[in-house]
Every structure is written in structure tokens, then in C-alpha cells.
Structure 1
Amino acid sequence: MSIRHSLLALLGRGPAYGYQLRSAFEDATRATWPLNIGQVYTTLARLERDGLVRALPEGEGSQRPYEITDVGRADLAEWFTTPVEHAGRPRDELAIKLSLALSTPGVDIRAVVQRQRTATMRHLQDCVRLKRQDENPRDLPWLLVIDALIFQAEAEIRWLDHCETTLVRHAGTPPPLPATLPAAATRAVSERTTS
């Protein structure tokens, strides 16, 4: 998530204080991704350093409102017209957990998959319930956020189903051993999986 561009987009509506930006962001996303006020001010300082925003002199007490600059508007326009890159491989805790569960002795991988499916299904049901409660066209930003959460949960459930099918298909096949294990350890693991 780009806090930098989120703040620029909010400042595109007009000048605002840091607390106002945080509130506007959390209103738009219904606090799905809570934003720390320290993160807001740190990001504003970087945006100001880079010439994308400027602090206005008038403010309440020690607070200063910020406004977007022309350079900031150009950067924001480029962000909106550039597709989000899926470069690199982001860490996926669930994929890592299942990979390690598969190769860790004493872990019931099917139970791990089933518990995750139950938790993800519960999350999906909560999201659908939230969407039904709030299908107000005036709240379109929130509807898009909740739809994204619903689609992500549905995709995770499909992937878990795929994992379970793959586990059934390969039942009894021991996971490959890393090439870096010493020969004695390889023999010990091999004996354990064949007995």
C-alpha cells in the first residue's frame, strides 16, 4: 500500500492537517488498514522534502496544513495511470507456513489447511455481512475495499482447496530433502519416511 500516494490523493482534494489526512484515509477504507499518525507526519516530511507537498504558514497552534504542489499532482497522476507492479515475490505467511508444515515432522498439514480454511471462511462471511449492511452507493470507496477483501478471501479458499487436492494426490510421497543436508541426516530422514 502506498501511503505516499494515498496522502497525495487526499491532498488533491484540498489542504489538510496530518490528523485530517489520517481521518480521511481511515474513512475511505473504514480503517481496514489503520494508519499511524507518526507514519502520516513522517511521510508528509518526505513529500515536502521531495517537493510534492508544501506546508502552509497558517495553522492552528503548532499544526500546519499541507497542500499538494504541481510536482505532487504530476506524481499522483502518474501513479493513477501506472498499473500496480507485482514484481518480486512478496512474503506470503500462509504459503511459507504450509511449506514448512509439509516438511516438519509431527505437523498434520491437513489439519493446518483445514484450520486456515475455517478461519478464512469466517473472514469471508464477515466481509460479506459488512457489505450487505453498507451497500450505499455514496460509500463507493468502502464498497471497492470490501470487494477486494472478499475476492482475496475467495482466492485463498480456492488455493487451500487446491493444496488439499495436491496433498491427497501425493499422499505417501516424502518431501524432497535439501541438497545441503549431510549424508547421515539424509539417511536418517529417509529411514524415518520409509518405516
Structure 2
Amino acid sequence: MSIRYGLLALLETGPRYGSQLRTEFESRTGATWPLNIGQVYTTLSRLERDGLIVPEGGGDAKQQLYAITGTGRRELADWYARPVDRTQPARDELAIKLALAVGTPGVDVRAIIQAQRAHTLKAMQDYTRLKARALAAGPDSQEEMAWLLVVEQLIFAAEAEVRWLDHCESRLLRFAADRAAASPAAERDTPGAPDPEREAPLPRAAAETPGGAA
């Protein structure tokens, strides 16, 4: 949905060709989410079908100029005013991987966490360097400010992921410790399990006859 509204947002400032929309979308987001030109034209076709944009002038699809309609402007205004829905989160590959790994014999979940943490920390360091360069140059345009906001969002997201991975590791360690502590008691309470006190061998002195050695 972000591509749909992203293209509408760009068209609100004036008609554009599909190739222009792709270039400007990537420029505004710092190429963080690169667009395939096929995605652009597919989205434009759907926007035209829904009456949110109209073609201007002749030419084929690749040379067609598109403009936003009144309906498109109202839809865009609604999008700006509407909070992004977090009640239906997108599937997260890392969360799915850990959830499946926990119940799979032979999978080292801690190794997965540690490898991911190292990767995420490196990505966060790369984003931080990009932010430092952007701040040193001084954002002097709306496009540069938009890129800075995107980079900072990536940094915050990486920081949150590292904290979550630390939390996962701690929780798994506590879970393993609790199970280890509970297992001896569970074994003692199991019907038919040997009673360590009743089954323990008698000391040698108690086992000997009153007359002494056998």
C-alpha cells in the first residue's frame, strides 16, 4: 500500500511519467526500498482503474504522463490523516524463524540469535555512518531531510531488534534453567520411579551381622 500512496503523493505536486515517479520515490526514501519499474506501471494501472489518476496526452504506457484526480487527492488526504495499522503486522522472517527453531530438535537457537545480533549491529553501524555523513553535510533540501528521517527510522528499528534478541536469549536461558530445576522433582513424583531413600544401599556397618565380619 505504501507504493500506491507514495506515487499519489508525488503526483499531487504535478503530472509525471512512470520513470520519473520511480526515480523520485527512490530519491525521497534514499533508495532504501528500490522500486522495480514493473511495480510502478502495475500500480499506476490500478490507480487509473480506481479513478485516482488519469493519463494525460498520448503515447504508450511507458511514455504516458499521469495526473492525480480529485478523488485521488481525497484518498491521499485520508491516508495522511489515518494512523498506520499495527493490529495486522506484516510477517517478520526473524520472528517466524525463532518461533519455529524453538520447537525443532537439533537447532541451536542461541547460535541463530547470536548470528542475527552480529548482523543487525553491523547494519546499525552502517546506518549510523550514513546519518553522520548526512548531518555533516547539513540537509539543505526536503529530499535530504526525508532521507535523514528514513535513515533514523532504520537505526531505531535495528536498536529495537538488538534489544529484542537480547530479551529472547535471556528468556530462553531462564526457560532452560526452570526446566532443568523441575526435572528431578518430576522424576521423583513419577509413579513407579525409585525412591532414592528407600532404594539406597545400607551402610556396611549396618549390614554386618552382630557377630562381626562374614
TM-score w.r.t. length of structure 1: 0.84
1:41 corresponds to: 41
Deviations 1:34-80 (CA, angstroms, capped at 9, x unpaired):
11111111111111111111100156996111011111111101100
Task: Count the aligned residue pairs.
Answer: 174
What is the CA RMSD across the aligned residues, in angstroms?
A: 1.7
- Give the partner amino acid of 1:142: W
In 1, Cα distance between the equivalents of 2:88 and 2:9?
Answer: 26
In 2, Cα distance between the equivalents of 1:2 and 1:155?
Answer: 22
More moved, 129-138 vs 113-122: 129-138
1:149 maps onto 2:154 in alignment: yes
% identical equivalent positions: 57
Deviations 1:70-117 (CA, angstroms, capped at 9, x unpaired):
111111011001100012242111111111211111111111111110
In 2, Cα distance between the equivalents of 1:77 and 1:14?
Answer: 16
1:52 corresponds to: 52
2:175 corresponds to: 170
1:28 corresponds to: 28
Q: Secondary structure at the match of 1:164?
A: helix
Q: Secondary structure at the match of 2:64?
A: coil
1:133 maps onto 2:133 in alignment: yes
Indicate if the aligned counterparts of 2:110 and 2:169 stay in contact, CA closer than 8 A.
yes
More moved, 50-59 vs 6-15: 50-59
1:109 corresponds to: 109
2:205 corresponds to: none
When Rg is computed on C-alpha atoms for both structures, the one with the higher figure is 2
Q: Secondary structure at the match of 2:91?
A: coil
- Give the partner amino acid of 2:133: Q
More moved, 17-26 vs 106-115: 106-115
- Give the partner amino acid of 2:42: T
Distance 1:60 1:112, change over 3 A: closer
In 2, Cα distance between the equivalents of 1:61 and 1:77?
Answer: 27
- Give the partner amino acid of 1:119: H
TM-score w.r.t. length of structure 2: 0.77
- Runs ≥4 in structure 1, deviation > 4 angstroms? 58-62
Distance 1:119 1:62, change over 3 A: closer
